Structure 1
Amino acid sequence: MFDHKCTACGKRQLVFPDQVTSLVNTAHGIVVSHVCWCGAEQKWVTGKAATSHAAAAIAA
């Protein structure tokens, strides 16, 4: 799970694995697509190649 601030509702909430809809490796980083608790589809780019890192806690 990780935390994410939704661009639609503005809330920072935990995102669980069953909310993740896809993971795609690109030249710009790993694109994580997921659905927020409010129902909005969200994308987050992470990984070494990401141009900017959003503050997010990753938990096992």
Structure 2
Amino acid sequence: MFDIHCPACDRRQLVFPSQITAMVNDEQGIVVMYTCWCGAAGAWRTGAAQADAAVAPEHVLAS
């Protein structure tokens, strides 16, 4: 489990494995897609590339 800040409900929430909808490994690190308790879809970027970043971008996915 991990914690996120959901912009839809403006709350800090714990996300459990059952709420994870997908995981993608790209050149910027790992993106975990999830569904918040409020029902909003979200993404959390993690991994070595994210840890090395001076300022973490706000969960942006390339389309």
Normalising by structure 2, we get a TM-score of 0.77
Gaps of 5+ in 2: 59-63
TM alignment of 1:11-22, pairs within 5 A: 11-22=11-22
Gaps of 5+ in 1: 55-60
The residue that corresponds to 2:8 in the other structure is: 8
Determine which structure has greater relative contact order: mean sequence separation of CA pairs < 8 Å that are 6+ residues apart, divided by chain length: 1
Radius of gyration: which is bigger? 2
Identity %, equivalent residues: 54
How many residue pairs get aligned? The number is 54
Q: Quick check: 1:46–1:53 contact (8 Å CA) kept in 2?
A: no
RMSD, matched Cα: 1.7
Pair 1:43-2:43 in alignment: yes
Q: Quick check: 1:32–1:44 contact (8 Å CA) kept in 2?
A: yes
More helix by proportion, 1 or 2?
2
Normalising by structure 1, we get a TM-score of 0.81
